[in-house]
Amino acid sequence: MKESAIDTLQAACSASWTNIAASRTGAHSERDRIRSLLRAQRLVPSDTAFVVFGSLARCDWTSGSDVDWTLLVDGEAREDHLSAAHGIRSALVEAGYKEPSGEGVFGGTVFSHELVHRIGGESDSNRNTTQRILLLLESASLGGDDRDVRERVILQLLKRYVEDDYGYRPSAGWRPYVPRFFLNDVVRYWRTMAVDFAAKRRERAGRGWAIRNLKLRMSRKLLFVAGLSMALSCKLRPSTRLTETFESDEQFCSAMTGHLQELADKTPLEILAQWCIDFSAHGAAVEIFGSYDRFLELLADESSRKHLETLSVEAAQADDLFARAREIAREYQEGLTRLFFATDGKLTEHTQRYGVF
């Protein structure tokens, strides 16, 4: 089996990220278990895929994780899709899995038409944006016409982003460029998550604030960083398919789409690890991955997790565990800042140009 970028980076940094490794192993084991369960009961109909998100998709699964999932439908609408979703939900609950979080974003059906055709504008709801961006940055399919359905929906999405970059593609003359439409959607989602965090704190009178704060600063931020890296990689680290000579716009768009799709099949941590390898950013990697490893260690500890889930905003300021969590998040941010702004001149220049404005 091909060595993962995380393992390669770990070796290059002479580091030991045991919690990242353990949570990856745990995620694969749970994925296999769920896959077998769905297959044994034949719960996923044709032209659909059972898609997971969150820690199971990111491969940073801990014992307290829930299973965030949707039944992605890419075919005719059939009235039995609802039955299928209900059946899946029942089977997962019976098997002992926690029901999805996310206020209705997960745990039901999602139609590819909505994801592909509603990008931006009035009809692109918060829910639709969330489901779309997570499909691109943090998803894996575990059952049904799985690879086929998830892959083809992702391809359609990426094709839309690339082909709709009207103002940028022609001027680049079929040379690799940073896909603006895609990057703007990723940035918008990241900022929306941050704003929604504040909204939820108010709506829930601070309940669960501490753990959501930590997750926002760590795993949610990771999604943004992975998406930013994907976009920048088209220009700064193009795959061989993007270095060919193109004879038509269609050919070029197809190459851009293919490049992004390869990355959409990797976990966010894998994307970030490869980025650190590509830029020989070992110092930043030690900070980023070391802190993320300690983040996972904290989440995996049931008493620590429960403590953060019930910690009030007022009590957090003087709380030792929260102080530790805040330090983890601070080091993580330091590492990311170092990677993008103090490692490579071109990376810094492109992050400033495309990531800020």
Which residues bind to another protein, rule: CB under 8 A? 40-47, 75-76, 78-84, 86-87, 90, 145
Q: Are strands 69-73 and 48-52 parallel, antiparallel or unpaired?
A: antiparallel
Q: Which is nearer to another protein, 48 or 65 (CB)?
A: 48
Nearest distance from residue 289's CB to another protein, in Å? Answer: 39
Nearest distance from residue 171's CB to another protein, in Å? Answer: 38
Q: Which is nearer to another protein, 15 or 116 (CB)?
A: 116
Q: Which is nearer to another protein, 43 or 183 (CB)?
A: 43
Nearest distance from residue 41's CB to another protein, in Å? Answer: 7
Q: Which is nearer to another protein, 145 or 287 (CB)?
A: 145
Nearest distance from residue 123's CB to another protein, in Å? Answer: 25
* Inter-residue contact 180 to 227 (CB < 8 Å): no
38-67 burial by CB neighbour count: b if 16+ within 10 A, else e?
Answer: beeeebbbebbbbbbbbbbbbbbbbebbbb
Q: Which is nearer to another protein, 85 or 255 (CB)?
A: 85
Nearest distance from residue 145's CB to another protein, in Å? Answer: 6
Nearest distance from residue 70's CB to another protein, in Å? Answer: 16
Q: Which is nearer to another protein, 78 or 282 (CB)?
A: 78
Nearest distance from residue 88's CB to another protein, in Å? Answer: 9
Q: Which is nearer to another protein, 84 or 140 (CB)?
A: 84
CA 226 to chain centre: 7
Q: Which is nearer to another protein, 89 or 221 (CB)?
A: 89
Nearest distance from residue 86's CB to another protein, in Å? Answer: 5
For 301, residues 6+ apart whose C-beta sits below 8 A from its C-beta are: none
Q: Which is nearer to another protein, 97 or 354 (CB)?
A: 97
Nearest distance from residue 89's CB to another protein, in Å? Answer: 10
Nearest distance from residue 74's CB to another protein, in Å? Answer: 8
Q: Which two three-digit tokens encode residue 42?
A: 């034949």
Q: What is the dihedral of CA 187, 188, 189, 190, to 10 degrees?
A: 50
Q: Which is nearer to another protein, 25 or 41 (CB)?
A: 41
